[in-house]
Each structure stands twice: as structure tokens, then as C-alpha cells.
């Protein structure tokens, strides 16, 4: 798909003046070239009999990197460093919230779940900080636990494309920021379900624009405002452009205030 990723990333950044965030997760598929390497070295969460724990939720036969294992963390981190060398600037740390229940002790399960979430995001955040310097690291994280505010940014996961889901996302982000996580995002237009009606998308745009971080996203479709426009009606695109411009205008004052 990308015969020369380094050149591809370089050309995108040069042409559009952007930074590049790529999607990663805490799983290794059995179909991946990395699976056997991780398996032989004991880098995956194990069953009580010592075999790698795997499941088929989301994708078939996935193993989960054991982020309580320092050697596994170094191995995983080295794979990410190779992507940074290609020109990647940050990572979307998807998943991280699901830990298998390998024990009947509920407290142990709770601790393991929090360790997976925290260690996963901490590892990636620190790796970016190591590469780019203090105050220059950023994630787009899905999971969080106590202390997660140290590894921003977080977004609300896979919401539906409905009025109700937009309202739920709003309440969720308010709860998140009131809990001490200063940055919150969500999928403008919703991620799951059928394409929403134009009015929902247009209402979601200002909400997304005035969230700390703004993202258009969708699961099985390309959910961008111009897909709701027609030859004679560009109101969806104009709505997003208006609010993005409004968001950007005070940026110099904000940067000056914190600088």
C-alpha cells in the first residue's frame, strides 16, 4: 500500500504543512509478522497455563502486549521508534481498556486493567517526549484511568451517528474534563451506524470545533461535510469552515497567555 512511506510522509508534510498521527493499538494479530516474535519472547499477556491469551473480539486471534513486562515495553517501543524515523509525529493509542479476566480476584483484575491502560499510554507518550522534547508529545488516546491526564489527548470512542449519541458524547466529555483531564475530543458526526442526516452533522460541527481537539471520523463511511453538500448547497462545508475559523482566531492570544 505504501511502497515508500518515508517519502510519502515527507511529501504530505511539505505540501500541506501538517503533522502526521498514525493509528496503533495494544493488540498483535496472529496474522502479523510480529506475532511469532512476541510469542517466542513472552511479550504477550498469558493464560494461567503459560500460553498466550488470545481472543476474537474485534479481529481474529489477537494477543495483547503485556505492558507490565519491561522487555515487552522496550520491544513495542522500538517498533514505534521505527515509525518515528519514517516521519510520524504522534500516535492514536486506540484500545487499551480491555484486560482478560485470568483470575477470580476482582481486585487483581481491576489493578491489571488499570496497569494496561496506564502503562500503554505512558509508554507511547514518554517515547514521543523522548523524541520531540518536553511539551511536544501528544496522543489521541481512547482509554484512561487515574493519572491519565498526564498523557493527553483523550477522545470518547465509537459513538453512534444520532442526536442521542451526540448528547451522550457531550455529557461524557463534560464529565471527563471535570475529572481533571483537560483535553477531550470525539468523532464529529459519529463513528458507528448509518450516515446521519445533514442537520445532525451540521449541529455536531460547532460542538466539535469548540472541543479542545477537533476530528472528523467514521467507521464504514467518509463522514466529512462536503459529502452532505450538493452542487447548489454547500451549507455543511460552510458551517464547519465558519466554526473552525472562529476557533482559530483567538489562538494567538491563547498561546501568548500560556507562553
User: 3-state class of 139 per DSSP?
Assistant: strand
Catalytic residue among 89, 94, 160, 187: 94
Query: The C-alpha cell of 100 is what?
Result: 482478560
How far apart CA 94 and CA 96 sit, in angstroms, is 7
In angstroms, the CA 25 to CA 89 distance is 16
> Whole-angstrom Cα distance, residue 134 to residue 167?
35
CA–CA distance, 151 with 118 (Å, rounded to integer): 9
Q: Which of 137, 104, 108, 105 is nearest to 123 (CA)?
A: 137
Cell, residue 227: 459529502
DSSP H helical ranges for the chain? 5-16, 35-40, 70-86, 106-132, 163-178, 198-209, 235-248, 251-258
User: Please, what sign has the CA dihedral across residues 240, 247, 170, 125?
Assistant: positive
What is the distance between the alpha carbons of residues 199 and 228, in angstroms, rounded to a whole number? 10
Q: Is 158 a catalytic residue?
A: yes
Write down the catalytic residue from 97, 168, 192, 229: 97
* 97 included as an active-site residue: yes
**Which sequence positions are flagged as catalytic?**
94, 97, 158
Amino acid at each position: 500500500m505504501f511502497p515508500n512511506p518515508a517519502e510519502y510522509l515527507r511529501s504530505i508534510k511539505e505540501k500541506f504543512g501538517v503533522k502526521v498521527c498514525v493509528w496503533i493499538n495494544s493488540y498483535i494479530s496472529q496474522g502479523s509478522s510480529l506475532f511469532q516474535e512476541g510469542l517466542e519472547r513472552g511479550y504477550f499477556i498469558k493464560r494461567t497455563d503459560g500460553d498466550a491469551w488470545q481472543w476474537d473480539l474485534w479481529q481474529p486471534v489477537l494477543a495483547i502486549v503485556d505492558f507490565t513486562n519491561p522487555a515487552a515495553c522496550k520491544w513495542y517501543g522500538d517498533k514505534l521508534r521505527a515509525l518515528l524515523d519514517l516521519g510520524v509525529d504522534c500516535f492514536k493509542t486506540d484500545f487499551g481498556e480491555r484486560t482478560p479476566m485470568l483470575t477470580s480476584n476482582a481486585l487483581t483484575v481491576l489493578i491489571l486493567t488499570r496497569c494496561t491502560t496506564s502503562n500503554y499510554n505512558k509508554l507511547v507518550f514518554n517515547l514521543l517526549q523522548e523524541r520531540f522534547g518536553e511539551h511536544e508529545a501528544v496522543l489521541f488516546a481512547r482509554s484512561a484511568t487515574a493519572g491519565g491526564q498526564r498523557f493527553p489527548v483523550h477522545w470518547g470512542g465509537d459513538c453512534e451517528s444520532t442526536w442521542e449519541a451526540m448528547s451522550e458524547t457531550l455529557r461524557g466529555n463534560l464529565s471527563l474534563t471535570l475529572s481533571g483531564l483537560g483535553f477531550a475530543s470525539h468523532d464529529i458526526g459519529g463513528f458507528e451506524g448509518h450516515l446521519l442526516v445533514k442537520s445532525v452533522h451540521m449541529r455536531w460541527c460547532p460542538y466539535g470545533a469548540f472541543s479542545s481537539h477537533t476530528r472528523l471520523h467514521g467507521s464504514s463511511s467518509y463522514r466529512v461535510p462536503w459529502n452532505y453538500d450538493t452542487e447548489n448547497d454547500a451549507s455543511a462545508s460552510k458551517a464547519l469552515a465558519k466554526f473552525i475559523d472562529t476557533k482559530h482566531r483567538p489562538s494567538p492570544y491563547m498561546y501568548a497567555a500560556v507562553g
